[in-house]
Chain A
Amino acid sequence: MKWKILALFMAVGCLPVTAEAREAEPETVDIPMWIEPMSWDEIRAQRAKMKAAMKASGKQAEKGSSRWKGGDKASGTKKGDGKKRKASSYMRRTYYIRSGVFPMQPGGAMAMKPRSMDYGAMKQPVKPQPNAHAGMSHGEMDHGAMPVSRRPESGRNQASMNNTVLWVTFPDTTVGQHTPKQRGKTSTVSFPSGDGGWYRLFAYNDLGVRDGSWVQLMSHGLVFSHGDEPDERKQDAPTGPGLFEGRPILEIERLCDDHDTCYRAHTGHTLHIRASFKGKKLSNTSVTLTTEKGWSQTKRTDANGEAVFTLIKEEFPDEIDTRKSEMYLLTLEHVVEEMGMLGDEHFHNQRYVATYPLKVYPSRLDWESQTVGFYSLGGVVLVTAGAIAVRRRRRRPEA
């Protein structure tokens, strides 16, 4: 009887999911690329490693921030922005540019193996909680599972990062181009972030013709830096790879209701985005949000090219680590059925795959209690007011 009720529950719980999945079937997306901020701990570790290597090689350790000032040695060339930006290492932001199948496997390794391969000592799958994730579907496997469909037979699960460029729109509205540097197996790029305000990031990688399609990968990001906000500076619309009339060819623009919404995403918040292709709003297009654990939800953009997602909560741990974030990835694919030639190669269509990565932190409601705050405040007021009244009454001279 218990099993029947459970089965009924699951069936009812799955109905809307199935309906939505049928209605908005996710497009085939392979080899997405995304930008991911390097944590402060990683930056410090890297800096310490660099210093140690310098000392070991007998070179004089470069003092303080002099190595990073002005130029852009760490991240390659920068053009399109005439301003010389002075910034010490801490005033830089460093990003990984990753490619592969999202989500990654436990331990941070990229999910490179095809689905059919043995994953070895994989962790036990996390059971989906149907009531907590209304409207979200889950992949066939957990952790290593790939809810986003892909083509393992292609044998190319990671795109080459050689052609990648990163465009950064600085708070003063100027745009700078940065080239990532290959460090081991990862590709990193950094840019100065001394000015306060919002930095818009756009990474672009032209993969060329693959399986008859001209594949172009891109990723967007938005980051805020504390500090004095500079005045806006006029600059001609930048031109270069991945841009169309100064803007990304396929753009996922995050719409911020207020500063806090975009400053740091928490579970329970909404993610409001607008998709556009070559400056025109992209309506009725599938957009998929995938979480680090493999939950995914696909929606279609409305007539304005907009879509809204709720950032679901994946974990229910006993102890909350407020600093622990999880990566969520928004993926959008747009195919233009237009034949042509790219160099010597012929393509049938053009495939644009854009992502918007997002670090999502636990909801403030998990560790903050306004109820306790209000009751404590009331208690303090009552106790101190009572104490003052009693003290005054005792001190009052008797008539």
Chain B
Amino acid sequence: MKVYRLRIAVQFVCFILLVYGGLFLIDLGSRLPTFSCAYMDDRGGGCFFIGFQHMMNRPLGEFLGDAGIRLLKALGIFALWAVVLNKAWCGWVCPFGFLQDMMTKLRTFIGVDVSRFAWMTRTRYKSVKYILLVLMILIPLGMANSVFGLPTLPRDWSVAFCQICPARLILPIFNGDFSQIYVDFSGSVRMILTSLGVILTGLFFTTAFVKRRFLCSYCPMLAALSLFDKIGLTSLKKNGQRCTRCGNCSRACPMEIREIEEEKTLSNLVTQDCTLCLRCVEVCPEDKALQATFCGVPIFTATQEGFLKRQGLPGENKTEKEV
């Protein structure tokens, strides 16, 4: 089975479901841990972040009451989704991730070479997504609460992350709505945030020709989901004894995760950047060296035979017979 093709098919179905689901009266709720942008009219579910930012915009005292209960309920739903599918939300469901994969396909079709960042560069910017996640909590709180008697942040900071998120500009286009591509001149904060959104959208188009899933490396949703890496039901396991460090896995990984090749002792390989696309398992030539599991039950295991089949090479048994 070519997992890559299966993944593209699943991503396509999820894309249709999340972008056009509303047309078929499908509503998966507004707490999805994926970029099903709330600015899309015909969406089949909503991104968790927009509601989260609204919910955090409350005076601290109110979190002791109903606001806290509502927040906990929302976080609970988010956590439930995250625990079940873990990072597979990014690799298999996210419509924005799917678009990036399609851009990669286009790049391959045109014949443009892919680039890889230096390891140091990657490590240096690894924390960006966590900083964005923290800001997403602090900015709404700062709008409703005064810290040390300082004035609260103006309302222009409302849903600040959505203002810079390129998914807000790109995904509504699939509903025929280009109106999100704008610069807001009502205030300096809004102007800066919406301009950043436009710049990141531009980067989405160009960086797709440089690197696979460039924006995912800085995505706060990936950071939020990585909080559930250890307890997620969907997992990626490695048997270090069987690994020969051929490096196929890290080369095939769209997120360029090096640990997957280097790690010998750690059994759970869902690292903070992993999107559980299972590309590493697909290209691993060693029997049971890598294994994807759900609730501990293997769902996809690396095999030598499978590897050869997928590469279109004759398997050992077949070769012997032919000889």
Residues of A within 8 A of B320 (CB): none
Among B175-217, those with CB < 8 Å from A are 178-179, 181-187, 194-195, 198-199, 201-203, 205-207, 209-210
Interface size on A, as a range, is 35 or more
Known: A323-B155, A377-B198, A385-B209. A65 touches B65 (CB 8 A): yes
Which residues of chain A (345-399) have a CB below 8 Å from chain B?
A: 367-370, 372-374, 376-381, 384-385, 388, 392
Q: Is the pair A64, B198 in contact by a Cβ cutoff of 8 Å?
A: no
Report 29 cross-chain contacts, Cβ distance below 8 Å, ordered by A residue. Answer: A86-B66, A87-B66, A88-B66, A90-B62, A91-B67, A194-B70, A228-B70, A321-B186, A323-B155, A367-B184, A367-B185, A368-B182, A368-B184, A369-B183, A369-B185, A370-B179, A370-B181, A373-B182, A376-B198, A376-B199, A376-B202, A377-B181, A377-B198, A378-B202, A380-B202, A381-B205, A384-B202, A384-B203, A388-B209
Q: Which A residues contact B (CB, under 8 angstroms)? A: 64-66, 69, 86-88, 90-91, 194, 226-228, 258-259, 320-323, 367-370, 372-374, 376-381, 384-385, 388, 392
Minimum-distance CB pairs A-B, first 10: A380-B202, A367-B186, A65-B65, A373-B182, A384-B206, A88-B65, A373-B181, A368-B182, A372-B183, A322-B186
Measured CB to CB, the closest approach of chain B to A228, in angstroms, equals 8
Contact, CB under 8 Å: B61 / A377: no
B30-53 contacts to A (CB < 8 Å) = 30, 41, 51
Instruction: Judge whether A376 and B183 touch: CB under 8 Å.
Output: yes
Closest A residue to B203 by CB, please name it: A384
CB distance from A390 to the nearest CB of B (A): 13
A320 nearest CB neighbor, chain B only: B186
Interface of B is mostly: helix
Q: Hey, which chain A residues are within 8 Å of B179, CB to CB?
A: 370
Alpha-carbon gap, A372 to B205, bound state (A)? 18
Contact (A370, B198) CB under 8 Å given A65-B65, A90-B62, A376-B183: no
Contact A90 B58 (CB under 8 A): yes
Residue in chain B with minimal CB distance to A65: B65
Residue with the greatest number of chain B CB neighbours at <10 A, chosen from A69, A88, A379? A88
From A323, which residue of chain B is reached at the shortest CB distance? B155
* Chain A residues whose CB sits within 8 angstroms of the CB of B199 once the complex forms: 376, 380
A129–B61 CA distance with the chains assembled, in angstroms: 50
